[in-house]
Amino acid sequence: MKSDMLTCSKDRMEDKIVTFSKFGDAGHGGITRYSLSPEAHQARDEFVKRMKAIGATIETDDMANMYATIKGSEPGLKKIVMASHCDSVKNGGNYDGILGVMSAMEVLETIVADKIPHRHSITAMIWTNEEGSLYPPAMMSSGVICGKFKKEDMLASKSILDSTKTFGQALDASPYKGEEKNRLNPKDYMAMFETHIEQGPILEDAGNEIGVVTCVLGMFNYRIKFFGQADHAGTTPMYKRHDALFAAAKALCYLHEEIDKLDDKDLVYTTGEIVCHPCVHTVIPDMIDFSIDVRHEDPKVLAKVLAIVKSLDGKEIEKCTCKVEKAWARDTVYYDKELIGYVKESVDELGYSNQYINSGAGHDAQFVSEMIPTTMIFAPSKDGHSHCEPEFTSVEQCTKAASVMLNAVLKTDKK
């Protein structure tokens, strides 16, 4: 490590990890902390308390996104922001999202504690409702701020637990709802960094401490539907059946066989949702609707997989007809090369083992990258676990990721 390289405090990081893990503690080593819930407000209160203690100015915008800023020596310059989220999935872990917030706090705390000079004002930020686990969709507020979603549509999003409640109602009830003029925007901000756990096993398997993130993978999500005939399970002979579930099962096996023939180790695809109608044990299913989620950096590979998926459209399998419908898709989002360079320089100078890596998961940073220069930093996830209670990243690994961001931010500050 170069003698002039700065590092964050392991003790402060550990204190933050322990403290924030209490807000929404599910009792099994993880948390359930839905956006704008009482538990999420506890986390936000703690953020405010700690940021005010170092003299940061706190602002919120109309989507309840939060901004804690320490002033730079040249007030006319644009700000540098470090951002992530504090909400979780149900029975999630103590690192997804919140590590980025804690790392941003730690960077500001280090700058203030060590009296590190900086020209630009620097901001730690919390995005509202990144997970979308209570009020869909995911990355809701960054989607609104970056023009991906219409605000009125998002305000109307219904709670998955109570359809009488909307995101707009929760937002109106939140003490952190602020003004639209405070939104993140390219007029006031020059760059964004997001530190995050990897949520996969690549770094750990390679024995590396830091992932220098280059992009968020392109992906598509399609729905594959089969239509048959509902009949009695006990009285309909097997040869007369139009069993939509049996047809769908055959189609799923076909997809796996054909996609696997592409033999691409970087290609991932998943069927994670199945709808069965009428879903009664004494009735032959007459409709099956299942998802297929496909992710890869190269659009040519995605096109090959899509051709396989679309080949099912209109086919008849086991006397059931198939319909293939697009749900949504995104192109690969590449992060800013200059900021990636600052991250790479910082991690090399700190002497931490590292590698370039892509993100298979979506993040607020991918939306922001189309508005201002953006990049991400990954810390390893033990055994690749995430979105579950065994999710774990050591205090040392968390602190190293924050230290990389600190130095990358300071390199950006000299720009």
Together in a domain, 113 and 22: yes
Q: Quick check: 379 pLDDT over 80?
A: yes
Q: Is 253 found in the same domain as 127?
A: no
**How far is the C-alpha of 368 from the C-alpha of 366, rounded, in Å?**
6
Name the domain boundary from 313, 330, 347: 330
Q: Provide the whole-model pTM.
A: 0.93
Whether residues 62 and 134 share a domain: the answer is yes
Expressed as residue numbers, the domain containing 267 is 218-330
Nearest to 322 by CA among 273, 289, 369, 361: 289
Output the pLDDT for position 337. 98
Are residues 263 and 183 part of one domain? no
**pLDDT tens for each residue of 32-74:** 999 999 999 999 999 999 999 999 999 999 999 999 999 999 9
3 falls within a domain = no
Cα(188)–Cα(111) distance, integer angstroms? 21
Shared domain for 105 and 252, answered yes or no, is no
Query: Is the same domain home to 391 and 323?
Result: no
Number of Cβ within 10 Å of residue 303's Cβ equals: 11
Domain final position from 302, 330, 358: 330
Q: Which residues pair with 359 in a beta bridge?
A: 216
| Residue ending a domain, choose from 330, 361, 388 | 330
Task: Point out the annotated binding site for Zn(2+).
Answer: 85, 96, 131, 196, 387
Report the binding-site residues. 85, 96, 131, 196, 387
Residues 69 and 86 in one domain: yes
Residue 1 lies inside a defined structural domain of this protein: no
When divided into structural domains, the chain yields a total of 2
Residue at 128 is within a domain: yes
The pLDDT of 101-119, averaged and rounded, is 98
pLDDT at 125 over 90: yes
Question: Is residue 335 scored above 70 in pLDDT?
Answer: yes
Regarding whether 135 and 25 lie in a shared domain, the answer is yes
Residues 227, 344 within the same domain: no
Average pLDDT for residues 104-119, to the nearest whole number?
A: 98
Beta strands in 35-176 (DSSP E): 57-60, 66-70, 79-85, 122-127
- pLDDT of 4 strictly over 80: no
| Per-residue pLDDT, 71 | 98
pLDDT, tens digit (0-9, with 9 covering 90-100), for 74-109: 999 999 999 999 999 999 999 999 999 999 999 999
Residues 258 and 212 in one domain: no
Is 17 in the same domain as 96? Answer: yes
Question: In this structure, is residue 276 part of a structural domain?
Answer: yes
Q: What is the arithmetic mean of pLDDT over 233-258?
A: 98
Evaluate if residue 13 carries a pLDDT over 80: yes
69/204 same-domain check: yes
In sequence order, what DSSP letters do the residues of 328-363 get, joined into one string? EEE--EEPPHHHHHHHHHHHHHHT--EEEEEESS--
pLDDT, one tens digit per residue, over 262-304 is: 999 999 999 999 999 999 999 999 999 999 999 999 999 999 9
**Cβ-contact 8, 2 below 8 angstroms:** no
Judged against a pLDDT cut of 70, whether residue 156 lies above it is answered with yes
What's the confidence (pLDDT) of residue 325? Answer: 98
Has residue 351 been placed in a domain?
A: yes
The answer to whether residue 18 is domain-embedded is yes
**Percent of the chain's residues with pLDDT above 90:** 98
Tokens of 18: 């322990």
Q: Could you tell me the two tokens for 238? A: 């097997």
Output the domain CATH number for residue 363.
Answer: 3.40.630.10
pLDDT of residue 2: 75
Find the CATH number of the domain harbouring 306. 3.30.70.360
How wide is the angle at C-alpha 379 spanned by C-alphas 375 and 380, nearest 5°? Answer: 135
Query: Could you tell me if residue 150 is inside a domain?
Result: yes
Q: What is the pLDDT of residue 374?
A: 98
Q: What is the pLDDT of residue 3?
A: 66
Look at residue 398 and tell me whether its pLDDT is greater than 70.
Answer: yes
SS3 label, residue 383? helix
Residue 104 falls inside a structural domain: yes
pLDDT grade for 234, boundaries at 50, 70 and 90: very high
**Closest to 41 (Cα-Cα) out of 61, 66, 18:** 66
The string of pLDDT tens digits covering residues 164-188 is 999 999 999 999 999 999 999 999 9
